[in-house]
Amino acid sequence: MQLQQLTDALTTHLPPIMRWAGTVARRIRKFNIAVESKSSGSANTDALTIADLSVQELIVSCLRDTDPIFRQCRLQGEESTGDFERFAGEAPYSIVIDPIDGTKGYRDRQGNAYSVILSLQTPETVEYSLVYVPEEGEQGSWVYACGDIVATGPDDTRRSASEVVRALPPIIPAQRATSKKIYLIGYQQRDAEKAQLVTDAGLEGVLAENMGGCHYWTFARGEVTGSLIHSPNIYDFPVGMHIARILGGDAVWVHNREPVHLRETWLDERADMERLPGIVACSADRGVLNTLCELAQDWNPVRYHD
């Protein structure tokens, strides 16, 4: 299985799947959809809805039934629904799904920042990312990353989803917006305290509930300059890492400044999700990375303290 074959297949088949998934999510949101499941102590992490389960089931089924090359990949999803046994148990590439990123705001009908995310990962990095933001703009919006291109733009349901994604205008780093905003999450009850420390360091710490839009949409466009996340999960965070690297930045562990890889993860049984260890800084601006590492290098790398 060649990487180019795989990314070509994703580019052809994935956009309509993501558009369908986003349409389902947008429709289901109008109903009482909360499900009790996770118990990590974080409201953002523990939120779960019928939409998370249904959207993942839809995406997994479509991947299973479109191009056989997808079944040669390992499949990982934030939720447990889907025909996972039809995909490879071990493979050099993993297709990773976050069916509803931003579930708490989605469930509580607060803002329109939720999104549907899929990425193609290796143990070292990310090779393909596609994010569909169903309620950004009149008909939804896209974030695409592959090769040396990051592109964003509005959806247009008069055209095929694949055509729209192929025609998205690439982000030009020199013309990208500038910002001091740093997205923080994962510090349990200390998120606000850590955000203030980031602000005191000359940037602007922003909590999830104050983001005002999908993180990957705002980050790709420069409206947010980076993130400082405690033990980020593998389902959505790697997309930010992918975007940062294409745009000339990186994602690094703050304690040693080494580039993040996906070889070493741990299972957060409280949240029922796979995570990277420690605290990770991510930005397309290496000066920002340096500031974040200097600030957080001695922060506690352990997520739970009880």
Q: Give 109's DSSP letter.
A: T
Confidence (pTM)? 0.93
Percent of the chain with pLDDT over 70: 94
Q: What is the pLDDT of residues 277-289, one digit of tens each?
A: 999 999 999 999 9
CATH code of domain 3-173: 3.30.540.10
Nearest to 9 by CA among 82, 71, 91: 71
Cα 190 to Cα 90, 171, 185, 194, 256, distances in angstroms: 38, 34, 9, 6, 23
The β-bridge partners of 209 are none
Residue extent(s) of CATH 3.30.540.10 domains in the chain: 3-173
Q: What is the pLDDT of residues 21-75, one digit of tens each?
A: 999 999 888 876 666 654 444 444 444 567 888 899 999 999 999 999 999 999 9
Q: What is the pLDDT of residues 129-167, one digit of tens each?
A: 999 999 999 999 999 999 999 999 999 999 999 999 999
Residue extent(s) of CATH 3.40.190.80 domains in the chain: 175-296
pLDDT above 50 for 246: yes
CA distance 178 to 161: 29
Q: What is the pLDDT of residues 208-229, one digit of tens each?
A: 889 989 999 999 999 999 999 9
Backbone phi, psi, residue 88, to 5° = -65, 140
CA distance 76 to 229: 21
Q: Per CATH, the architecture of 175-296 is what?
A: 3-Layer(aba) Sandwich (3.40)
- What pLDDT score does 212 carry? 85
- What pLDDT score does 43 carry? 44
Average pLDDT over residues 4-11: 98
- What pLDDT score does 15 carry? 98
